[in-house]
Structure 1
């Protein structure tokens, strides 16, 4: 396969439509519940505002109550429209602008979370594809490019995270008590016993680092094994959340770009039809 063919694979529009709906649904959840610090920063004294690069380039002002409320509710409204598949370019563009600015407000007063970079890529690229519906099986290179770019962003999140660990923390990140500290600070009761086995926690550090460094190899795998790796990443994030209550929610949404979502939707519809037929048959038998 040529480089162009790899970067622009012809994928079903239905896959992009499902991914787009899930992405915009997450935006609503994120703004209203998961990541609300942007709203609270509207009440912060402007003296604490430290413009990030984006703010310096675009001359973005410090947050105000009016600004954060406008961003919050305009983003939610646009996302609800975009979820339906209507006005994909306009509504999607408004979601991208609103959500990114809302995140900027959150991060201009403290640390910047690295789990949202790939989600930004998705929001910027999704509006480039026009109308697409869950039932569409027409193949589109435009849809394929969006999904491939999102996949690359997801893997870059892993790989660059590993690189940053040794760049800023040095090799002591994997050789010291990084995980011990995490368990002490954030550990749930069911993992506290690991504090008695520090060698195991250190081995986990090396395992995580190796997995992140090797993450680009996912593109060399067959489709079947690629899905298995993605399932393994989901399992890893579930264990991480259960252990130290850290979850990379936007990144988990982005990982869905690796999966044949339209196939899962077809299976779900087929199961629902079989269930409906079985219920009708059962109801008919009881009323004979």
Structure 2
């Protein structure tokens, strides 16, 4: 086994997979009713406005209508909640991925394409390959390690490719442009208004964004004891973004949990339980 294969399949506790799986599938259910309920509107959108993404053209997928959109919503809501229990991970996991993939095709085929769902889609595609995993299980799994690793790669590609897109379409002038200023004008908060008043701070922030996105792959080479701290910094970046222009990147944040030792949450809760005195 070469070094790349060992890195891609570095074993992780099955308890981590169980926790990550529950988080991902619960988010899918929440996404349907909280973050993307507007997809329902496409049930009654004229079919000639539907311009499917490349994968939607290659497969090809049907033009959305009331039966398709509402059917996917209710089926996906029920299946994702069932999958969050950890039961029948393949039987439930594959349909959740397929239905959510189609939900995203419908959502993004009318002129607006979000890039914050790549990591989540990859997670949904690979989680069914792991098989059963119980919360708190310390047994190591190479299949689980592979599922988390490819999700991590998708998360970091989201950052790195976003920087390349900025430089490709905006050029080096992007970092000195008024991109952040325009975003604050459109949807800025009172906190953003305070920051915008500081001379050159928005320009410095744009330099920082490009540097952060281009250097994000370094998370894979930092010492393991520092990796969680780097990921916490990633989360703090999104917290700052939300506090300024109310963009949440919620699907991306869920997928980024693939970096975290989620199994310790359960183990720590058990460890902190105080034994009851016996009479």
Instruction: Please report the TM-score for the alignment, with normalisation by the length of structure 1.
Output: 0.93
Residue 236 (structure 1) aligns with: 237
What CA deviation, in whole Å up to 9, does each residue of 1:42-74 have, x standing for no partner? 110111111221111112121111111110111
Corresponding residue of 1:184 = 185
Which segments of 5 or more consecutive residues in structure 1 lack a partner in the other structure?
none
Give the C-alpha shift of residue 264 in structure 1. Answer: 2.2
Q: Which segment is superposed worse, 9-18 or 170-179?
A: 170-179
- 1:195-253 CA deviation, whole Å, 9 max, x = no partner? 32241000000001101100001111111211001111111111111111011001000
More helix by share: 1
For residues 143-198 of structure 1, the C-alpha deviation after alignment (integer angstroms, 9 at most, x for no partner) is: 00001111111111110010110111212211111111111111101221223224
Q: 1:241-260 residue pairs with structure 2 within 5 A?
A: 241-260=242-261
What is residue 26 of structure 2 aligned with on the other side? 25
3-state DSSP of counterpart to 2:116: helix
- 2:82 corresponds to: 81
Cα contact 1:177–1:198 (8 A) shared by 2: no
Q: Is the 8 A contact 2:52 2:106 kept in 1?
A: no
Please tell me whether residue 43 in structure 1 is matched to residue 44 in structure 2: yes
Q: Distance in 1 between matches of 2:191 and 2:54?
A: 41
In the alignment, the residues of structure 2 paired with residue 198 and residue 169 of structure 1 have an alpha-carbon distance, to the nearest angstrom, of 22
- Residues in 2 aligned to 1:100 and 1:52: alpha-carbon distance in whole angstroms: 12
In structure 2, the partner of 1:140 is: 141
Moved over 3 A (4+): none
* Displacement after TM superposition at 1:118 (Å): 1.2
Query: Using the alignment, how far apart are the partners of 1:212 and 1:146 within structure 2?
Result: 23
> Cα distance, 1:255 vs. partner?
1.0
CA contact (8 A) 2:119 2:256 kept: no
Residue segments in structure 2 that go unaligned for 5+ positions in a row: none
Q: Aligned partners of 2:139, 2:196: CA distance in 1, in Å?
A: 53
User: Secondary structure in 1 aligned to 2:148?
Assistant: helix
Stretch moving more, 53-62 or 71-80? 53-62
State the aligned residue count.
278
Structure scoring higher RCO (CA < 8 A, sep ≥ 6) equals 2
Partner of 1:109, secondary structure, is: coil
The residue number in structure 1 matching 2:103 is: 102
Distance 1:75 1:158 in 2: 28
- Distance in 2 (alpha carbons) for counterparts of 1:193 and 1:52: 39
CA–CA separation in structure 1 for the residues paired with 2:232 and 2:201 = 23
C-alpha contact 1:180 1:198 (8 A) present in aligned 2: no
- Distance 1:58-1:180 versus aligned 2 partners, 3 A rule: same
Aligned to 2:168: 167
CA contact (8 A) 1:78 1:95 kept: yes
In the alignment, which residue of structure 2 is the partner of 1:11? Answer: 12
TM-score of the aligned structures, taking structure 2 as reference length:
0.96
Aligned 1:47-66 pairs, distance under 5 A: 47-66=48-67
The structure whose Rg is larger is 1
